[in-house]
A and B are shown apart, each in its own frame.
Chain A
Amino acid sequence: MTTETLIWLIPLPPLVAFALIVLFTNKNKALSHSIAVGAAFLSWLGAMIVFFRAVTTEHFGEHPFHSSINWLPTGETWLKVGVLIDPTSAAVLFFVAWTILMIFLYSVGYHNFGQPAGDHDHKGLPPHGATVTDAHGHKHTVLSVEPMYSRFFAFIGLFAFGMYTLVVSDNLLTLFVGWEIMGLCSYLLIGFWFAKPSARAAGIKAFMTTRIGDVFMLLGIAFLYSATGTLTFREIFTEETLHVLGTVPSGVFGLSAAGLISILLFIGTVGKSAQFPLHVWLPDAMEGPTPVSAMIHAATMVSAGVYAVIRMFPLLTADFHGHELTTAMSVVAFIGAFTAIFAATIAVAQNDIKRVLAYSTISQLGFMIAALGIGAYVAAVFHLITHAFFKALLFLGSGSVIHGMEHGVLHTGNHSVDPQDMYNMGGLRKKMPITFWTFLIGGFALSGFPILTAGFWSKDEILADAFGHGHWAVFLTLALAAFLTAFYTMRQITLTFLGEPRTKEAEHAHETPWTMTTPLVILSFFAITYGWVGIPEHFPLLGGIVPNWFHEFVGGTLAEHPEALEFSWIPLLTSLGVALGGLFFGWLAYRNVTAVEQDKLQFPVLKNKYYFDEAYDFLFIKPAFWLSEVFVSKWMDKGLIDGILHIFGPITGGVGFAIRNYFDVPIVNEFLGDGSANSVYALGKNLRPIQTGRIQQYLILSMVVLFVVGGLVYFLLLA
């Protein structure tokens, strides 16, 4: 099979799985998950084959795999859609395939396949536990299977289809299609437990917030199409087109056309990748099941936002000549860097294990965006891929922890204990060893622990790039954010796994089944080793041993191969310092903390996320509700429009009444109808007395008439 055909086929198995599960196998849990995991496996297989062929092709960047078809006739030309796998998308395809497969497998265990149905489980609520009686007659409450099991796999199948479509597409249109499908699935999956009001609200919030970004993105796409007449990447990123777009002014804020389009498309990313100011949806999205959080909000969907900017990098840098950042790039860099530090400060004060990771994701995405903003293409892609691996690992690990805690909750029966609150945990390294070690690896990767973890290599490269090109503000901001990242990560590990169990529930936690721990192990492998494919050449000691394959491969995507950076000690030392320092201080500060009251960093402003939700509610939500409920619904619809209609009713009634009472009754009924009869009757009644029966009176009458008529005839006619 040709590679191009294979690329076309990669997104299809999950879509077929979605259709099959929805239409046919919804009732059968085993069949549903088998179809889903099988589909994920098929896509993974296709992706691996394509990746392998890609990396074994010489100078792959110059002739990537592509295939397109004429799709929409537009007058003289066609709008084409197709697939493209160039080095960047090959690398992205690699991690997408792996993480999706791992998460599909993990979901089997997470939703407690094989466990009995719950005592009073409802569709739409998280499973509550089932009572089983063991051989000795003791009653235990165990985890119960998710009632909407098959539905979950259908949704994540649809989601996988969307992500694969986005990755393999060669044009902005199908990229946007994949983008929107993932948005829909995000809504469906965040609100998976739809009977929980908080989950419903979170789903709506996510969809609405990303929608705002999507509107601007669509505007950018439209502008791009009208400016260039095409949406295919390869046709847009030609020298002449980029040059024209880069120089033509767009008329808005002094940006060139390319700059304006880039910013519009970037706003879509701001929504999708939860950058400031559209970051508010991601923490609430933790209402969804953990595989959802892992997949959508760590590894794939939010990465799609960064991927979109990576794709449009030539456009972003259309009028960048290597020195002064363009306006568009400055905006991107600023938002990225600001988000990184902003989210990191909030993460320090969060107590929910998933919330910390959520803010961490926002922060790390900020790193990547900032990297793109300063033009560090390869570094951004590198960090995207390593982050996907270790963040997925961390989320799945947190899911495992929560599962263990839930087991403890069911054991003690105390449902007021929140299994996600870190202050209820502690000492879990003994109870859940595999989870502990893999989580530790993931956490170190996130912090940038040197050499051994992938996160170090990618983060270091970003800092080096920032330093090397003289972007001091970005450098310092990111360094500070990295310090905080290490700090709160160690805080999280310390509170969750180290020390002694703080609650009975934590004491009764135990390790999760193989379907959950195997993906953790596989992902931790990547979290360690993936960094080694991108060791910079000039790195002391290790540089040069292994060629910087990543830089060569991915760098080939761009028209101009980016040059390797000169080595400098300062960013390296900074990176080491913030990582190790952060980890050390995090452990130091929290190793003896046993209750939330002892946590000195629980500042209200951080706990309440700088009150952004409240601000948005006041500035946007409440006015929108007012507009719809009061202005449009009450005043315009019921008041004005209904009022006008209510005028018509009485008017018509009045017209009818008038016609009836002033025309119909008096004129038609009485005058014409009754009147003619009555007048005839009256005439008859009044003429009747003439007939007196007396002949002489008849004679007199006839004589009178004779004279009258005779006189008239004589005088008028004859005389």
Chain B
Amino acid sequence: MIPLSWYLILAAGLFSVGLFGVLARRNAVAILLGVELMLNAVNINLVAFWRYGDISMMAGQVFTIIVFAVAAAEVAVGLALVISVYRRRNTVVAEELDLLKW
């Protein structure tokens, strides 16, 4: 039917796009969007391996659930940070947040 490789390639592509977004976007919120994409790619991988491996082992799905939780937490905290930064510095452009430079 659908070979595993398709899912994996899809996940890899999604991951790469998300990586591109993280590395190349100016806006901090947009970076977090990229992170979300990467997490989803990971989830696809997990579920694919669960389905195409030993179905009785629920570790795949459990892991996916955990990733959901973590992603949510991370987004919450990240956006809270962005808002806090925006309040202080009046900017959400990642390039301008360079206080830790030399």
Contacts and interface: CB of A to CB of B under 8 A. Distances in A.
The answer to whether any beta carbons of A and B sit under 8 Å apart in the complex is: yes
B101 A693 contact: yes
B22 interface: yes
Interface string B19-61: 1001111000001000000000000000000000000000000
A689 B102 contact: yes
Nearest to B31: A696
A696 B24 contact: yes
B27 to A, nearest CB: 11
Contact of B94 (A689, A694, A700, A703): A694
A693 B22 contact: no
Interface string A685-702: 000110111111001100
Nearest to A692: B101
B32 to A, nearest CB: 12
B31 to A, nearest CB: 7
Contacts, number: 32
Given A693-B97, A694-B94, A699 B22 contact: yes
Contacts of B101: 691-694
B102 A694 contact: no
Nearest to B19: A703
B100 interface: yes
A699 B23 contact: yes
Interface residues of A, number: 11
B23 A700 contact: yes
Interface string A678-719: 000000000011011111100110010000000000000000
Contact of B100 (A688, A689, A693, A703): A693
Nearest to B100: A693
Contact of B98 (A692, A699, A703): A692
B95 A694 contact: yes
Interface in B78-102: 94-95, 97-102
A117 to B, nearest CB: 103
Query: By DSSP majority rule, is chain A's interface helix, strand, loop, or mixed?
Result: helix
A50 B23 CA distance: 136
Contacts of B25: 696
Contacts of A696: 22-25, 31, 94-95
Contacts of A695: 94, 97
Nearest to A688: B102
A122 B4 CA distance: 136
A195 to B, nearest CB: 94
B22 A691 contact: no
A553 to B, nearest CB: 126
Nearest to A699: B23
Contacts of B23: 696, 699-700, 703
Interface string A585-615: 0000000000000000000000000000000
A693 B24 contact: no
A689 B25 CA distance: 21
A288 B98 CA distance: 113
A707 to B, nearest CB: 12
Contacts of A699: 22-23
Nearest to B101: A693
B58 to A, nearest CB: 32
Contacts of B98: 692-694
A696 B34 CA distance: 12
A699 B23 CA distance: 7
A688 B102 CA distance: 6
Contacts of A703: 19, 23
Contacts of B94: 694-696
6 nearest interchain CB pairs? Answer: A693-B98, A693-B101, A688-B102, A693-B100, A691-B102, A692-B101
Given A693-B98, A696-B31, A696-B94, 7 more contacts: A691-B102, A692-B98, A692-B101, A693-B102, A694-B94, A694-B101, A699-B23
Interface of B: 19, 22-25, 31, 94-95, 97-102
30 contacts: A688-B102, A689-B102, A691-B100, A691-B101, A691-B102, A692-B98, A692-B101, A693-B97, A693-B98, A693-B99, A693-B100, A693-B101, A693-B102, A694-B94, A694-B97, A694-B98, A694-B101, A695-B94, A696-B22, A696-B23, A696-B24, A696-B25, A696-B31, A696-B94, A696-B95, A699-B22, A699-B23, A700-B23, A703-B19, A703-B23
